[in-house]
Amino acid sequence: MWHSQPVTGFTLWFTGLSGAGKTTIAELVGPELERRGLLVDYLDGDVVRTHLSQGLGFSRADRDTNIERIGWVASRLTRAGAVVIVSAISPYEDARRAARALVEEHGAFVEVHVATSVDECARRDVKGLYAKALAGEIPEFTGVSDPYEDPREPELRLDTAETAPEESARLVVAKLEELGLVGVPA
């Protein structure tokens, strides 16, 4: 006997500056969704750039190509019923909107702006990149020598200067519950 399986895929898209906390929060949200029985896959900007987008740089054209590719893969996986968690700076509104349009052909697109300020990212400077960028050693560094366009209408905005990673993850899951994309535990 065949059971028709409901397609419940959606894409959770984290955007924000380098070091804002996208990956950190994604890695807390993903396992929680897996615990709830969902199939989760990750498209992390740093990982994508070593595989799918190897060779691309940081010009606007290359950044747009990178996001277009991520959006396309996210759309395919969403269609297949997966929960896709994207963590990518994705600095341009137009590119994010195009990714949203691709995904929404098959499922929901939930944009989360990890809205950590440049000052806060530079204070943390986990990878030492802000010190170099602020010294003028990295051209096209988002937030310092390259633009970041704040999302106009994200489904959720997180202020990580005020909110610990675990609390941010909790807020993301609560938003997914509110949107009816994940079930509420009994």
Report the residue number, 26 or 106, with the smaller CB distance to ligand ADP.
26
CA 54 – CA 126 distance, rounded (Å): 23
CA 182 – CA 173 distance, rounded (Å): 8
From the candidates 53, 75, 90, 168, give the one annotated as an active-site residue: 90
CA 118 – CA 145 distance, rounded (Å): 11
9 binds ligand ADP (CB under 6 A): no
CA 151 – CA 94 distance, rounded (Å): 10
Candidate residues 23, 53, 75, 78; the one interacting with ligand ADP per rule CB under 6 A = 23
SS3 61: helix
Supply 166's token pair.
């675990």
179 binds ligand ADP (CB under 6 A): no
**Region of 16-24, 47-55, 94-102, 176-184 interacting with ligand ADP (CB under 6 A):** 16-24
SS3 141: coil
Amino acid at 144: V
**Region of 65-73, 102-110, 135-143, 158-166 interacting with ligand ADP (CB under 6 A):** 158-166
18 binds ligand ADP (CB under 6 A): yes
Name the residue whose CB lies closest to ligand ADP: 21
Report the residue number, 81 or 165, with the smaller CB distance to ligand ADP.
165
Burial of 185 (C-beta count, 10 Å sphere; 0-12/13-18/19+): exposed
Residue span 82-121 as binding mask against ligand ADP, x where in contact by CB under 6 A, dash where not: -----x--------------------------x-------
Is 18 tagged catalytic?
A: no
Torsion 134-135-136-138 (CA) sign? negative
165 binds ligand ADP (CB under 6 A): yes
List of residues contacting ligand ADP (CB under 6 A): 16, 18-25, 87, 114, 124, 126, 160, 163-165, 168
